[in-house]
Chains A and B, each alone.
Chain A
Amino acid sequence: MTTTTPTTDPTPTTNPASEAAMTTTITPTTRPSTVTRSGRIRLPQVTRGEWIKFWTVRSTSITLLAGAVATVAFGMIFSLVAESGAEAPGPAAFLSDPVDLALGGIGITEMVVGVLGVIIVAGEYSTGLIRTAFAAVGRRWTVIAGKVAVLAASITGVMTVAVTAAVVAGQAVYGGGEPTVPVTEVLDVIAGTTVYLVGIGLIGVALGFILRSTAGGIGTLVGAVFIGPNLLQLLPDSMTDVFLEYLPSESGAAIMTRVSDPDLLDRGPAYVVFGAWVLGLLGLATVLVHRRDA
């Protein structure tokens, strides 16, 4: 290797590099004071960065708010349809509980939050921003945890309100004759529904990290979580009985209703099973993210 002296030396050399270096000073020389160089990056800082990223892309916030509106609007539509006749098509035909009807829009909402989860991760893979994120903080798991925290908090905040509003509004337009159930009596349903929506969002995040592709993530989410179980239900009960209730969608259904259904798990075990899906997929995502090149 050959050596060159650094050109802090103002004497003319043949290298044009040194003359240009004299012209202007671009960064201030007060270097150490501009940065607080204390300690390691901690999760709250990474989470704040993810929070800024989440809320500074307008389509993200609009999507989440649209999901909230859909939750209320579709709940009202299902409740109205149920009022006007027993022959109503779609889910309204199966649902008889006024609270279940008021939450009939969740099928749409879960798609919205799930897709959102995929997009906030896979979108960064497609632009390459994920590399910036990983290299900037060093420990990759903090990026995953930060995204999880931000999406969970955002969905919880928006959807607790939306789900509560849907319970009230749906029942207000329902005229099926049953007495209106006050919100205070269905707090467990509201909590379960919110938890389900958070969980689906996080499954979207996990799929984003696992598959690193928006199309692949959304396809898998829709196919495996939303459509797959409906197709399996067409099979004879004897074949599907053993596992159907353990799927994310079915264990999720069990935590979102106050009606007991012999085909579904009880609420307690359902929470455990649904939580295991979410944590299991996030765990897999974390392992893969650390093992693979970014």
Chain B
Amino acid sequence: MIEVRNLTKAYGETLAVDDLSFTVRPGIVTGFLGPNGSGKSTTMRMILGLDAPTSGTATVGGRPLAEHDRPLTSLGFLLDAGAVHPKRPAHDHLRSLAVTNGLPVSRVDHVLDVVGLGEVGRRRSGGFSLGMGQRLGIAAALLGDPEVVMLDEPVNGLDPEGILWIRHLLQNLAAEGRTVFVSSHLMSEMELMAEHFVIIGRGRLISDISADDLRATAKGESTDVRADRLGDLVGLLRADGVEIVSSDRETITVHGRTATEIGGVARDAGITLHALVPEQRSLEDVFMSLTADAVEYHASAATPVAV
């Protein structure tokens, strides 16, 4: 369990994290989402005890991580897959970490196998591809067989197969009862992976919500309808607070009536429906609109780009 309470971090004038509070619970994958520069990495560094909070606390299992006997057995982390000496063999990199926490060298071989680097473990990490580097970083996070796994943008640079792999890995870790906390700035990466989301923008909490509840909010307010006697249906549906626009000759879009209500009206009038499609916004859209005000650098979509 990770508990963040009123966490604030100021770098000079910049408030990188602003009175942030949330709890990351065991047994599920929690996605930590926010646009670039919203304070995800800063929050994680404070959880790791690397950056001192300006105010507030961040604890792992009730205590600051630095106070744990063997931190790697409490929390495994990936901050930056590039944090290795390129000339040091991967196996030695992991071994140097393992011995500090009193972990047997057999753990090194085990985690290298888990991430699929068993064959290349004796090679220098400088020669690794982006994806192999990420896997090595994840291997380091798993080294201590930790209760909590915290990964900063682990999907960066992975191909679709790698993304699938990491999704299964993290979901399995969660299914074993561990706390899994994963950051990303892309909802598309997280929506199949996480069961809960902590969404931040400009260092502030925007939403702390389960995936199901977020999906529920993604249900839109309008319904697209196609029917055989469209004109009649429009007449029957028309009422106060109902707005109907015709998208094209055969389709109308209805605001203010649910799909169920529209279906009922059509049935009572003997109108055959050809299509009844409630608008479904993607989670990406929901995320974008939630964080729209918090995006640091807006690209102006209207400006044509000269190539």
List A residues at the B interface (Cβ < 8 Å). Answer: 1-4, 6-8, 13-18, 20-27, 29, 31, 34-41, 45-46, 48-50, 52-53, 56-59, 123-124, 127-129, 131-139, 293-294
Considering only residues 191-221 of chain B, those with a C-beta below 8 Å from chain A are: 192-196, 208-213, 215
Given contacts A17-B192, A37-B70, A132-B79, 19 further A-B contacts (CB under 8 A): A1-B22, A2-B209, A2-B210, A6-B28, A6-B177, A24-B168, A27-B145, A35-B144, A41-B100, A53-B92, A53-B96, A56-B88, A57-B88, A124-B85, A129-B83, A131-B79, A136-B100, A137-B71, A294-B51
Q: Is the CB of B82 closer than 8 A to any CB of chain A?
A: yes
Indicate which residue in A35, A45, A128 contacts B73 across the interface (CB closer than 8 Å).
A35
Q: Taking chain A's interface residues, is the majority helix, strand, or loop, or is none over half, making it mixed?
A: loop
Closest CB of chain B to A138's CB: distance in Å?
Answer: 4
Q: Is the CB of B66 closer than 8 A to any CB of chain A?
A: yes
Q: Is the CB of B129 closer than 8 A to any CB of chain A?
A: no
Point out the residues of chain B lying under 8 angstroms from A52, CB to CB: 92, 95-96, 99
Indicate which residue in B25, B88, B96, B213 contacts A49 across the interface (CB closer than 8 Å).
B96
10 nearest A-B pairs in the assembled complex, by CB-CB distance: A6-B27, A128-B83, A56-B92, A4-B210, A49-B100, A138-B66, A52-B96, A21-B171, A293-B51, A21-B175
Give the interface centre of A15, A20, A132, A133 by most chain B CB atoms within 10 Å: A132
B50 to A134, Cβ gap below 8 A?
yes
Given the known interface contacts A7-B175, A134-B50, the answer about A59 and B71 at a Cβ–Cβ threshold of 8 Å is: no
Indicate which residue in A29, A31, A293 contacts B50 across the interface (CB closer than 8 Å).
A293
A17 CA / B99 CA spacing, docked (Å): 34
Given the known interface contacts A49-B99, A132-B83, A135-B71, the answer about A6 and B26 at a Cβ–Cβ threshold of 8 Å is: yes
Given the known interface contacts A15-B211, A135-B65, the answer about A128 and B72 at a Cβ–Cβ threshold of 8 Å is: no
- Listed A/B pairs (8) with beta-carbon separation below 8 Å: A17-B28, A20-B167, A20-B168, A27-B145, A31-B176, A40-B69, A53-B85, A53-B92
A52 CA / B92 CA spacing, docked (Å): 7
Point out the residues of chain B lying under 8 angstroms from A127, CB to CB: 82-86
Q: Taking chain B's interface residues, is the majority helix, strand, or loop, or is none over half, making it mixed?
A: mixed
A48 CA / B73 CA spacing, docked (Å): 18
A17 to B89, Cβ gap below 8 A?
no
Residue on B nearest A131 in the bound complex, by CB: B50
Closest CB of chain A to B1's CB: distance in Å?
Answer: 12
B176 to A27, Cβ gap below 8 A?
yes
Count B interface residues, CB 8 Å. Answer: 74
Closest CB of chain A to B142's CB: distance in Å?
Answer: 7
Given the known interface contacts A16-B192, A127-B83, the answer about A137 and B100 at a Cβ–Cβ threshold of 8 Å is: yes
Give the interface centre of A7, A15, A136, A294 by most chain B CB atoms within 10 Å: A136
Given the known interface contacts A16-B192, A27-B172, A50-B96, the answer about A135 and B69 at a Cβ–Cβ threshold of 8 Å is: no
Point out the residues of chain B lying under 8 angstroms from A40, CB to CB: 69-70
A26 to B169, Cβ gap below 8 A?
yes
B210 to A3, Cβ gap below 8 A?
yes
Considering only residues 154-180 of chain B, those with a C-beta below 8 Å from chain A are: 167-169, 171-177
Point out the residues of chain A lying under 8 angstroms from B271, CB to CB: none
Residue on B nearest A42 in the bound complex, by CB: B102
Point out the residues of chain B lying under 8 angstroms from A36, CB to CB: 102-104
Indicate which residue in B71, B175, B209 contacts A136 across the interface (CB closer than 8 Å).
B71
A41 to B85, Cβ gap below 8 A?
no
A46 CA / B96 CA spacing, docked (Å): 9
Residue on B nearest A13 in the bound complex, by CB: B212
